[in-house]
């Protein structure tokens, strides 16, 4: 019998991720979303297929998720990010009861049950503070890259930041640099403000452990450690943290085919 292959595509504000599910093997690909979610979705799908010597006809079904999920004309269906993150998290760490996701322009906290079903969630998509794009802007103001923030903050005392708004925080950071403050202390302060925000959101849905930290921002180890200390629960970051939503979409495609 021919094996059934499934694809999940998460069209995010910054990055578009695709996951190919081949039995229990997971393969993924990420491209920048750029100005066209539709183009990025097509591109990531084509590249993933090319990498594996496949054509679209070899795929049983494709599910789209993420803010640009409606921009995928070749997808069989679209499913919300909340449902997909919950499904992906339950697969990667079945014991997890809460997902904290920080992406490019939103953040969410999802409480899940033992089957990966959503019990409750809160989402912040109204304000850029604390999201990946915000970190990119601040990293640029500090003359560095988001991938360096964790190391920069290592062992530094957090400098309290007063501005919760992304626009004002950027000016504040520039002012602090001009006043001779250390970059590490500024970044540690930034991490502290993000963690405080996420802790508030987690408290609103009721903290449950262990927590799975997902989204591109979860690649920042210092942020994960701070989150663990603030929430006082175990926080795990899977290696595939940025593709949890796309993985969930592929798994849902497989679940539906098995029905």
Query: Applying CB under 6 A, does 237 fall inside the site for ligand ADP?
Result: no
**213 and 237 in contact (C-beta within 8 Å)?**
yes
Residues 107-166 that bind ligand ADP (CB under 6 A): 132-133, 135-136, 146-147
Cβ 107 to ligand ADP, closest distance in Å? 10
Cβ 184 to ligand ADP, closest distance in Å? 16
Query: Applying CB under 6 A, does 220 fall inside the site for ligand ADP?
Result: yes
Binding residue (CB under 6 A) for ligand ADP from 105, 144, 163, 240: 105
Gap between the Cα atoms of 129 and 96, Å rounded: 26
Residues 24-43 that bind ligand ADP (CB under 6 A): 33
Nearest to 254 by CA among 77, 131, 110: 77
**210 and 96 in contact (C-beta within 8 Å)?**
yes
**Bridge partners, residue 18, by sequence:** 9, 29
Query: Applying CB under 6 A, does 216 fall inside the site for ligand ADP?
Result: yes
- Where do we find the tokens 């993420």? 66
**Bridge partners, residue 7, by sequence:** 20, 62
Gap between the Cα atoms of 190 and 183, Å rounded: 10
- Closest CB to ligand ADP among residues 146, 198: 146
Q: What is the binding site for ligand ADP (CB under 6 A)?
A: 12-15, 33, 66, 103-105, 132-133, 135-136, 146-147, 215-217, 219-220, 242
């Amino acid at each position: 019998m021919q094996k059934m292959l499934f694809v999940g595509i998460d069209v995010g504000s910054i990055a578009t991720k695709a996951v190919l599910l081949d039995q229990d093997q997971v393969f993924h690909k990420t491209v920048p979303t750029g100005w066209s979610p539709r183009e990025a979705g097509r591109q990531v799908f084509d590249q993933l297929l090319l990498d594996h010597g496949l054509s679209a006809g070899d795929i049983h079904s494709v599910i789209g998720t993420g803010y640009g999920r409606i921009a995928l004309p070749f997808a069989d269906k679209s499913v919300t990010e909340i449902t997909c993150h919950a499904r992906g998290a339950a697969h990667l760490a079945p014991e997890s009861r809460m997902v904290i996701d920080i992406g490019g322009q939103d953040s969410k906290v999802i409480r899940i049950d033992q089957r990966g079903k959503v019990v409750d969630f809160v989402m912040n998509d109204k304000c850029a503070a604390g999201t990946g794009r915000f970190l990119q802007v601040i990293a640029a103001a500090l003359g560095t890259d988001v991938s360096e923030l964790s190391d920069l903050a290592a062992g530094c005392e957090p400098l309290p930041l007063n501005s919760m708004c992304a626009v004002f925080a950027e000016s504040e950071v520039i002012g602090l640099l001009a006043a001779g403050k250390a970059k590490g202390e500024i970044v540690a302060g930034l991490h502290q403000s993000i963690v405080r925000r996420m802790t508030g959101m987690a408290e609103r849905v009721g903290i449950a452990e262990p927590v799975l930290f997902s989204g591109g921002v979860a690649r920042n180890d210092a942020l994960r450690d701070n989150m663990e200390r603030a929430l006082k629960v175990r926080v795990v970051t899977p290696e595939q943290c940025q593709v949890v939503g796309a993985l969930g979409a592929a798994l849902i495609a497989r679940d539906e085919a098995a029905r």
